[in-house]
Amino acid sequence: MSHRHFLIHKPYGYLSQFVGEAKKKKLGEFHDFPEGIMAIGRLDEDSEGLLLLTTDGQMSEYVRSKKVEKEYYAQVDGQMTEDALNQMQAGVEIGIHGEKFLTSPCAARRLDPAPSFAPRTRKIRDDRHGPTSWVSITLTEGKFRQIRKMTAAVGFPTLRLFRVRVGDIWLGDLAPGAVVEVPDFGL
C-alpha cells in the first residue's frame, strides 16, 4: 500500500482530528482526505500553524519521537526577558495531568521583528493591556500544552501560538486552512 502525506496550516479554532464532537470544527472540512489519515502530533484548538498528516503510522511515530525538532512562535504577554529565555532553555517545571514534569533543554530566543501572521479570526486583546513580544521555542518533546505552560512558568503567558517548523519542513506562506499533498516528508 502506498501512503499519502499532507501539510496543512491549521487555523485557530479547529481540532487536530477528523472525528469527534459534532459541534467542533475539524480538519476534514478543508480537504477530502483518504481513509486512515491521521495528524502527526496535535495542535490544540487555540493553536495555529503547521500540522503534518499521514496514512503511515510508522512515519507518525518517527516524527513524534525526540529525533525531530518542532519549532513554535509564541506571542506572549509582556516583554520576554533574557532571564526567562535562559530558564526555558535550561528546562522548567510544569504540571502535566496533575504531575510535575521538568522540560528538556530547548532553544529559545526573542523574535524581533515580530512575525507577520494574518490576524486571528478572534481578537486576542488590544494595546491598552500592555506590550507583547514574540519568541521562538524549539523542542524535541511535545507534552500536553507544553509551550503555553513553559512561557507561563517563567511569567509570560502565551497569547497566540504557531508551529512553524517540523524537522526541515516549514510552514512558510501556506495560508490558514490550505492543504498541500507531498510525496514524502523528507525526514
Active site residue 77: no
Cβ neighbour number for residue 86 with a 10 Å cutoff: 11
pTM over cut 0.85: yes
Asked if the 70-166 domain carries CATH number 3.30.70.1560, the reply is yes
Query: Which fold, 5-65+168-182?
Result: Alpha-Beta Plaits (3.30.70)
Burial level of 17, CB count in 10 A (0-12/13-18/19+)?
Answer: middle
Q: Distance between CA 97 and CA 110 in Å, rounded? A: 29
Active-site entry in 44, 112, 168, 184: 44
pLDDT tens digits, one per residue of 29-77:
888 899 999 999 889 999 999 999 999 999 988 888 888 999 999 999 9
pLDDT in tens, the chain (187 residues): 689 999 999 999 999 988 777 788 888 888 889 999 999 988 999 999 999 999 999 998 888 888 899 999 999 999 999 999 999 999 999 998 889 999 999 999 999 999 998 877 776 766 667 889 999 999 998 888 999 999 999 999 999 999 999 999 999 999 999 999 999 988 7
Cα(173)–Cα(117) distance, integer angstroms:
9
Residue 90 backbone phi and psi in degrees, to 5 = -80, -25
The secondary structure element, H or E, covering residue 57 is: helix 57-64
- Provide the residue ranges of all domains of the chain, joining segments of one domain with +: 5-65+168-182, 70-166
Name residue 111's beta-bridge partners: 134
